[in-house]
Structure 1
Amino acid sequence: MLFGGPAAADPAELYHEQCSSCHGESRLGGTGPALIPETLKRMRGPKVANVILHGREATQMPAFAEVIPADQVDELAAWLKTPLTEVPTWNAEQIAESRQMNPDYAPADAPVWSSDPMNITLAVETGDHHVSVLDGDTFEVLDRFPTPFAVHGGPKFDPKGRFVFIMSRDGWVQKYDLYSLKEVGRVRAGLNSRNIAMSADGNWLAVANYLPNTLTILSTEDLSVADVREVKGKDGTPSRVSAVYQAPPRESFVLALKDVPEIWEVFYGKNPPQQGFAHDWRMEGPAHTDIPFPVRKITTPDYLDDFFFDQTYEYVMGASRSGEGGQVIDLVIGQKVADLDLPGMPHLGSGITWKYGDTTVMATPHLKDGTISVIDMESWETVKRIETQGPGFFMRSHENSPYVWADVFFGPHKDKMHVIDKKTLEIIKTLDPVPGATVAHVEFTRDGKHALVSVWEDDGEVLVYDAKTLEIVKRLPMRKPSGKYNVWNKITFSEGTSH
């Protein structure tokens, strides 16, 4: 936004006069983020008005309290929540034009620091849109760099753990070199995006978009556009992409779709299956014309928004949109093989697995009730429902830890963190590190000796726990830290972390 002349009474005129130079004439963003309902869902009217009045710290957003009357700010905030009259396009050419490579970036032959490259941990700070790069042994902050507005979904590391890719709600994808501690570049792959997935070979990055209804695939080497796939069901119904996941053994991306009862599988390997696929999707452009991306569309009995895969990636567990159950889809045969008894809207995306007796179990928190469901991954039966002090959002563990950590993010006891014994499936301790503050999202160090917990407040911190004694050994002040992501745990697909 820029300061201008006298404030206009009409919200559209006011936006044009004061906001469009940064946020775009069509509200789809520029140097500032998109200002449309899809990107403002988590900001209620008063919050939007407050940002307009007082600006946003550590960003280029100025305060308008002395420029726009308060009543007109309220009208503007309400207007920004109204849908666009036309669904915008964001095609390959527009994506390519948005690409910004850092002219000051130069790759380093080796890390510019002496830490263990496999024990680097990233902490996303949503309070002022930064990421801190932590040494996983000393917890020293090696760098703290700015990200695009409103990072969403977990960052993804390349298979060697050198480069990390970070995506924002408004579709910007940032590439950062952990060795050089420098941003490589960024590109806007969508207008309202959900998450990203890295191919197992490290060559491709898939971006799931709500707006427009597309899947974008980027080259990880230079963030160039490989292709943009319009997403429509078998009957031609357009669909938002709820999420995209990688399935390494299958050399494919798997898509959860919001508006059609289908699962899509997009293959990037050199030898994709030859039966049951639409082979008409090929990359455009002289650099990529020889690389096909066959698409398989699997019809499902219900709309499935949230996925969890078994360790073989043959089976995908999907949550029903109603929040009252789920299904198991066999990706090999393309059919449902089991129903899941999961009331209370399970958050399968944060589920984890571990060995339990002679079987493997998967545990998931519920978003609507104080329950954690533990599922047998062979019979698909519920082993146990663990009662918690409220609805939770995240769970974490580690192969070297006997415990599972689970928050109660949405309940009145959001300042609590449950520690659960993997063998007995009982809560053995409930932590209360900062009374009254939201504590959430645990990540372990590479060896599992320490657990990092977010105090999810603007004036927050990351608490470093001894994972054996369950005592705090260090506090790292941060601005509303959300997720933490350890290189080793992520690139090895640790059973204790979501994938």
Structure 2
Amino acid sequence: MHRLTPLSIGLAALLIALPSSVMAASDGASLYQQHCQSCHAPERLGAQGPALLPESLARLPQKAAVQVISQGRPATQMPGFAQTLSGAEINTLAAYLYEKPSAPPHWDAAQINTSHQVFNPRAQLPAKPVFTADPLNLFVVVESGNHHINILDGDKFEVITRFPTHFALHGGPKFSPDGRFVFWASRDGWVTQYDLWNLKPVAQVRAGINTRNIASSQDGRYLMVANYLPNSLVVLNAEDLSLNRVIEVTDQQGTASRVSAVYTAPPRNSFIAALKDVQEIWEIPYDKPDFPVRRLRAGDYLDDFSFDPQYRHLLATSRDSHGGQVVDLDAGKVIKKIPLQGMPHLGSGISWTWQGRPVMATPNIQQGRLSVIGLDNWEIIKEIPTEGPGFFLRSHVNSPYAWTDVFFGPNQEVVQVIDKQNLSVAKTLRPMPGKNAAHVEFDRYGKHVLLSVWDQDGALIIYNADTLEEIKRLPMNKPSGKYNVFNKINYAEGTSH
């Protein structure tokens, strides 16, 4: 089995511990410097261990951080400190991790270049797979419970290899146009390139401190990294992840902004970025050497977005539940407000043809509904009730069904199958009662569906996409996203981009 060297796992690590009596329980900064900085860096920016800043720990409740510091994390380099620190000291240390630093963290081009490593140059790797499986029907499966990736044969549903990753991958991997290379980013800014044919890491670089997601250009030459911290977009050369440039994100008045998300728009040869703190959308052509920024005025502060199939229009989610908006990218302006209730997750929206019309459906993070929108007039066609708020929606051009979870509600064990023509729930499944069912993905042919049960004793479950019968399950520790090579490189109908 081929393995990546563990590079960033655990929450806080101790190499040398002094007796707790020498440390005042009220001094979280001193506790951190004594017990954590050797792995997480003096300024909490991360090194061998991940960054320990409020932005990096946003999805980890403080009570959970106390538990991790006290008990450690199994199968990682993170030991427990219950025998070293008192309960009061552990609580003080955990509270300190959620405090903003006195000075804004800094991560510039010099630091990015210093972090850059090449493990296996592309030119030295054989240009053919080392396995017999269909390289276009592989799945990259993120096992978030213990920070691993599984490379899965999408025909036999067998794991080809499994290896550890940086802490907390986020935003979904992206692929080279031929499907050979895959790129992923961790929440604390590490971007990794991996050769799926040779099952080896190619390169890595730290492009930020708190990263939202990455996008890959259709020509295979560049990656763009969207950062919350610092406020930047980083362009990397896809060949080896070397730095191309850093684009500071500010509006024309100089107001800095976090980047909500960045995606590629293949027919436009450009990256599209939504900004979280200023009311702008940026279009950045990657077929021009200087990456000029075209600023489009947004109708609100944007959290996420998706495109229509022609990439002419952008459908964006607005902050504070103000519904959705449609931006004409050619005209550079908002042309429609969609009165969606709750908090639609348009970044997970999918499109298909219904009664001869192009439509899009989006789950809702706050309410139990799927909203179906006509792409020809931007009107809501139907609200399909579900058993709770959902996060992911997936389908395939060859399937009559769309699958949605109810990730945020009390019925987390449920996944619901939607008839795309009747616009109604065809079947409700409970894959593992009492455990959270989330995120499905189809194989390249639309014959099979892979579903995650997001639990430490969870599983990856494979269904027949037509009969909805279970075929196989693979035990895994909180499997989350899984990404089919063919569907991703072809921007297939029914999957997110």
| Residue matched to 1:216 | 234
CA contact (8 A) 1:3 1:67 kept: no
* Matching of residue 112 in structure 1 with residue 110 in structure 2: no
Distance of 1:163 and 1:486 partners within structure 2: 13
Distance of 1:325 and 1:17 partners within structure 2: 48
CA contact (8 A) 1:401 1:448 kept: yes
CA contact (8 A) 2:272 2:282 kept: yes
Distance of 2:194 and 2:238 partners within structure 1: 11
Shift, 1:301, TM fit = 2.2
Q: Any idea what the Cα deviations from partners look like across 1:64-112, whole Å, max 9, x if unmatched?
A: 1211112110110011100011112211110010112226985122100
* Matching of residue 355 in structure 1 with residue 353 in structure 2: yes
Identity %: 55
Q: Any idea what the Cα deviations from partners look like across 1:266-319, whole Å, max 9, x if unmatched?
A: 11114xxxxxxxxxxxxxxxxxxxx21110011122112210101111100111
Shift, 1:198, TM fit = 0.3
Shift, 1:228, TM fit = 0.6
What is the one-letter code of the residue matched to 1:436?
G
Distance of 1:109 and 1:374 partners within structure 2: 44
| Residue matched to 1:346 | 344
Distance of 1:49 and 1:303 partners within structure 2: 34
| Residue matched to 2:31 | 14
Residue 313 of structure 1: which of 311, 314, 325 is its match? 311
| Residue matched to 2:204 | 186
Residue 37 of structure 1: which of 54, 79, 96 is its match? 54
Structure 1 483/20 Cα, relative in aligned 2: closer, same or farther at 3 Å? same
* Matching of residue 83 in structure 1 with residue 100 in structure 2: yes
* SS of residue matched to 1:207: strand
* Matching of residue 334 in structure 1 with residue 314 in structure 2: no
Residues 249-260 of structure 1 correspond to what in structure 2 (within 5 A)?
Answer: 249-260=267-278
| Residue matched to 2:191 | 173
| Residue matched to 1:397 | 395
| Residue matched to 1:3 | 16
Shift, 1:184, TM fit = 1.2
| Residue matched to 1:278 | none
Q: Any idea what the Cα deviations from partners look like across 1:175-198, whole Å, max 9, x if unmatched?
A: 110001111121100000000000
Residues 76-475 of structure 1 correspond to what in structure 2 (within 5 A)?
Answer: 76-102=93-119, 106-270=124-288, 291-475=289-473
| Residue matched to 1:287 | none
| Residue matched to 2:9 | none
CA contact (8 A) 1:152 1:167 kept: yes
CA contact (8 A) 2:120 2:201 kept: no
Q: Any idea what the Cα deviations from partners look like across 1:202-242, whole Å, max 9, x if unmatched?
A: 11000000000000110111110000111001221100001
| Residue matched to 1:494 | 492
- Relative to the length of structure 2, the TM-score reads 0.95
Shift, 1:429, TM fit = 0.5
Shift, 1:324, TM fit = 3.1
CA contact (8 A) 1:325 1:339 kept: yes
Distance of 1:387 and 1:75 partners within structure 2: 45
Shift, 1:334, TM fit = 0.3
CA contact (8 A) 2:121 2:240 kept: no
Distance of 1:6 and 1:52 partners within structure 2: 16
* Matching of residue 53 in structure 1 with residue 66 in structure 2: no
Q: Any idea what the Cα deviations from partners look like across 1:5-40, whole Å, max 9, x if unmatched?
A: 123222111110110010000001011000010000
CA contact (8 A) 1:351 1:395 kept: yes
Q: Structure 2: where are the runs of 5+ without partners?
A: 1-12
Distance of 1:136 and 1:103 partners within structure 2: 26
Shift, 1:58, TM fit = 2.3
Distance of 1:25 and 1:425 partners within structure 2: 54
Q: Structure 1: where are the runs of 5+ without partners?
A: 271-290
- Residues 50-59 or 475-484, more deviating: 50-59
CA contact (8 A) 2:260 2:302 kept: no
Q: Any idea what the Cα deviations from partners look like across 1:429-487, whole Å, max 9, x if unmatched?
A: 10111111000100001111100000000111100001111111000111100001000
* SS of residue matched to 2:29: helix
Runs in 1 of length 4+ with deviation above 4 angstroms?
A: 103-106
Distance of 1:167 and 1:328 partners within structure 2: 28
Distance of 1:175 and 1:47 partners within structure 2: 31
Distance of 1:326 and 1:104 partners within structure 2: 44
